[in-house]
């Protein structure tokens, strides 16, 4: 009997589902902080679609969003490979798949979430800090010279101009329309909510998102994949390869690591300041969803 079972395993090979994790804020966060980008994820994405006995690719998404450009680039690469290889893609929202995180989930043919997962936030937000009052109190003079009246638009050390705000709003409108078009293309007739509600930038629990047609079901990755491909399905997580020097010094990030600071290597103060601000902004992005 044991010999028969061993041989039978080769006669009926286990179906494979490649699992890609998208965990964190999307886009570059700072000199020493890396978010999810196409450059950082493309190797793992391509490896996932090359697995032997591949039946599907599953996306485990836990992201509050970030760069709309990187969200679109990553989603497009997944869709291109899915169509080229004729492989179905399933997305599974964990704590949150909102804004750019939901954009990533749209790369899937079907989207699942937990009842309490945060889904949606189909909108565009731009944020920053203004230090005009602070530098005035400290007696600091800001010296900035440009060619082009909008070249310094958004500078944190200068007052905002109405014309700059108007320009920013027009950019947000263009991006929002692209996001809406992506949702309509991928979800189609499954959408059940009204436009004013769906594309307001609001977010909902998985249970409500299901009612609105933003997702296809309530469920977790393992359970849904077993239901679709049987109890013997093999879930194979695929990550990017991490260079030896990054493993040696403990550098890490989603999909195989990101640059850090090796012992004894100094960094410019402005790099540290930028990274500190990036860390604060990253925390604020998560905080919008109570996480």
Instruction: Say which CATH number the domain at 119 has.
Output: 3.90.226.10
Residue 160 domain-assigned (yes or no): no
pLDDT digits (tens, 9 = 90+) for 209-236: 999 999 999 999 999 999 999 999 999 9
With contact defined as beta carbons under 8 Å apart, do 193 and 213 qualify? yes
Higher pLDDT, 268 or 280: 280
Q: How far apart are CA 202 and CA 99, in angstroms?
A: 10
Task: Specify which residues 18 forms β-bridges with.
Answer: 57, 236
Q: Write down the pLDDT at residue 88.
A: 98
pLDDT at 247: 44
Residue pair 198/122 in contact by the 8 Å Cβ criterion: yes
- Whether the pLDDT of residue 267 is over 50: the answer is no
Look at residue 51 in the predicted model and tell me its pLDDT: 97
Question: Is 211 or 137 the better-scoring residue by pLDDT?
Answer: 211
Residue 95 domain-assigned (yes or no): yes
Q: Is residue 10 part of a domain?
A: yes
pLDDT band for 278, please (50, 70, 90 cuts): low
Q: How far, CA to CA in Å, does 267 sit from each of 30, 31, 102, 260?
A: 13, 10, 35, 11
Are 37 and 70 a contacting pair, CB within 8 Å? Answer: yes
From 63-67, 172-176, 252-256, 281-285, the region with the lowest mean pLDDT: 252-256
Which position has the higher pLDDT, 231 or 272?
231
Ordered DSSP codes for 157-179: TSPPPHHHHHHHHHHHHHHHHHH
- What is the reported pLDDT for 270? 47
Residue 231 lies in a domain: yes
Contact 215, 186 (CB under 8 A): no
The pairing of beta strand 33-34 with beta strand 28-30: antiparallel
Sequence-ordered list of residues with C-beta below 8 angstroms from that of 240, at least 6 positions apart, any chain: 40, 41, 43, 44, 47, 255, 256, 257
- C-alpha to C-alpha distance for 77 and 48, rounded to whole angstroms: 12
Q: Could you count the other beta carbons within 10 Å of the beta carbon of residue 284?
A: 11
Q: Within 10 Å of residue 41's Cβ, how many Cβ atoms?
A: 25
User: What is the Cα–Cα distance from 37 to 26, expressed in whole angstroms?
Assistant: 6
In a domain, 159, yes or no: no
Determine, yes or no, domain membership for 19. yes
Q: What's the pLDDT score for residue 271? A: 55
Residue 251 has pLDDT above 80, yes or no: no
The residue ranking higher by pLDDT, 274 or 288, is 288
Each residue of 63-83: pLDDT tens digit?
999 899 999 999 999 999 999
Contacting residues for 73 by C-beta, under 8 A, at least 6 apart: 37, 38
Please say if the pLDDT value at position 198 is more than 80: yes
Q: Indicate the pLDDT class of residue 264, thresholds 50, 70 and 90.
A: very low
Range of the domain at 245: 2-126+179-287
Residue 151 resides in a domain: no
Average pLDDT over residues 200-204: 86
In a domain, residue 165? The reply is no
Highest mean pLDDT among 48-62, 132-146, 277-291: 48-62
Residue 208 to residue 258: CA distance in whole angstroms: 36
Q: How many residues does the chain have?
A: 291
| Unique residue bearing structure tokens 């491909």 | 229
Q: What is the average pLDDT score of the chain?
A: 78
Q: Which of 288, 67, 63, 68 is nearest to 177 (CA)?
A: 68
More confident position, 99 or 193: 99
Instruction: Give how many domains the chain has, as a whole number.
Output: 1
CA pair distance 17, 202, nearest whole angstrom: 32
Instruction: Provide the β-strand partners of residue 234.
Output: 16
């Amino acid at each position: 009997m044991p010999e028969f079972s061993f041989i039978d395993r080769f006669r009926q090979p286990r179906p494979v589902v490649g699992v890609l994790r998208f965990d964190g804020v999307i886009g570059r966060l700072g000199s020493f902080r890396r978010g999810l980008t196409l450059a950082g994820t493309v190797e793992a994405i391509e490896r996932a679609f090359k697995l032997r006995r591949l039946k599907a690719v599953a996306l485990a998404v836990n992201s509050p969003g970030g760069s709309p450009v990187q969200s679109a680039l990553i989603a497009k690469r997944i869709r291109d490979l899915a169509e080229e290889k004729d492989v179905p893609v399933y997305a599974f929202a964990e704590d949150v798949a909102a804004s750019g995180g939901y954009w990533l989930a749209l790369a899937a043919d079907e989207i699942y979430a937990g009842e309490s997962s945060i889904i949606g936030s189909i909108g565009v937000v731009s944020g920053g800090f203004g230090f005009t009052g602070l530098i005035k109190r400290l007696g600091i003079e800001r010296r900035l010279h440009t060619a082009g009246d909008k070249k310094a638009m958004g500078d944190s050390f200068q007052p905002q101009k109405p014309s700059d705000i108007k320009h920013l709003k027009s950019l947000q409108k263009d991006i929002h329309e692209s996001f809406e078009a992506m949702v309509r293309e991928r979800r189609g007739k499954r959408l059940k909510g009204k436009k004013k509600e769906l594309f307001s930038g609001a977010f909902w629990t998985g249970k409500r998102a299901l009612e609105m047609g933003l997702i296809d079901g309530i469920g977790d990755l393992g359970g849904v994949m077993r239901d679709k491909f049987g109890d013997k399905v093999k879930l194979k997580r695929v990550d990017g390869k991490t260079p030896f020097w990054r493993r040696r010094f403990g550098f890490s990030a989603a999909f195989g690591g990101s640059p850090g600071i090796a012992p004894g290597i100094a960094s410019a103060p402005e790099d540290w300041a930028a990274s500190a601000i990036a860390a604060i902004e990253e925390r604020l992005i998560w905080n919008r969803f109570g996480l």
